Each structure stands twice: as C-alpha cells, then as structure tokens.
C-alpha cells in the first residue's frame, strides 16, 4: 500500500512538472492556452454578431458553439423572439458567418 501511495505521489509530481513546461512561454512563465476565442473571427457578419450578440452574451459563449445550420437558425430565431432586431439579410448573413466560423466543421 505504501509503495502505491509513493508511486502515485511521484507520478503526480512528474505530471505537475511536465505541465509547467508544456504550458510555459519562452520566458519560462506559465502561459494559459485559450480554448475558445475571446473575439469574433474576422469576416463578413462580424459587425452584425458584435452588434446583435454582445448585447447579452460574451464572445466566448458564442465562439464555443459548434452548431450546424439548423441549430444556428433555431438560435437566431429564439434571439429574435427575445428582442434582437435583424433584417432578413442580416439574419442570413449572421447565420452564414456563425456557421462558417463556429459550426461543427469550422477550422480552428
């Protein structure tokens, strides 16, 4: 039992040390890698997203989604029912933008 506890402790220390090196920048300081974007990606529709989505949400909430076209359509419809004002063209442009940048097959 003592050997297992000792081996487990050594393993934890090794993982901690490796983790510091794996996530450090050139200065040796620990750097956190952002999982989700903090800003909307450049592209046609970005201004609409900033104006329409950021009223209630952070970029992170939107950028962590991986919805297909149908799911983005449903989300936009819900947001419009809750008060977001979009013309039909803005709606279509925003759905295209969100799908291209935050869809299930979007390149990160």
Q: How would DSSP label each residue in 58-106? A: -HHHHHT----HHHHHHHHHHHHHTT----HHHHHHHHHHHHHHHSTT-
In-domain check, residue 87? yes
In-domain check, residue 40? no
One domain for residues 50 and 93:
yes
Judged against a pLDDT cut of 60, whether residue 74 lies above it is answered with yes
One domain for residues 92 and 63:
yes
Q: How many domains does the chain have?
A: 2
H or E segment to which residue 15 belongs:
helix 2-22
Domain assignment of residue 52, given as a range: 46-102
> Which of these, 55, 56, 62, 57, lies nearest to 40 by C-alpha position?
62
One domain for residues 21 and 60:
no
In-domain check, residue 108? no
Judged against a pLDDT cut of 70, whether residue 12 lies above it is answered with no
One domain for residues 16 and 60:
no
pLDDT tens digit sequence for 75-105: 999 999 999 999 999 999 999 999 999 999 7
CATH number at residue 63: 1.10.760
pLDDT tens digit sequence for 52-61: 999 999 999 9
Judged against a pLDDT cut of 80, whether residue 42 lies above it is answered with yes
In-domain check, residue 107? no
Judged against a pLDDT cut of 50, whether residue 22 lies above it is answered with no
In-domain check, residue 55? yes
In-domain check, residue 74? yes
């Amino acid at each position: 039992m003592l050997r297992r506890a000792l081996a487990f402790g050594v393993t934890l220390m090794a993982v901690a040390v490796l983790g510091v090196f794996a996530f450090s920048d050139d200065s040796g300081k620990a750097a956190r890698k952002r999982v989700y974007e903090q800003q909307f990606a450049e592209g046609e529709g970005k201004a609409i997203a900033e104006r329409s989505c950021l009223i209630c949400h952070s970029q992170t909430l939107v950028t962590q989604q991986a919805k297909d076209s149908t799911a983005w359509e449903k989300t936009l419809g819900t947001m419009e029912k809750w008060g977001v004002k979009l013309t039909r063209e803005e709606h279509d442009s925003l759905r295209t933008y969100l799908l291209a940048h935050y869809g299930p097959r979007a390149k990160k």
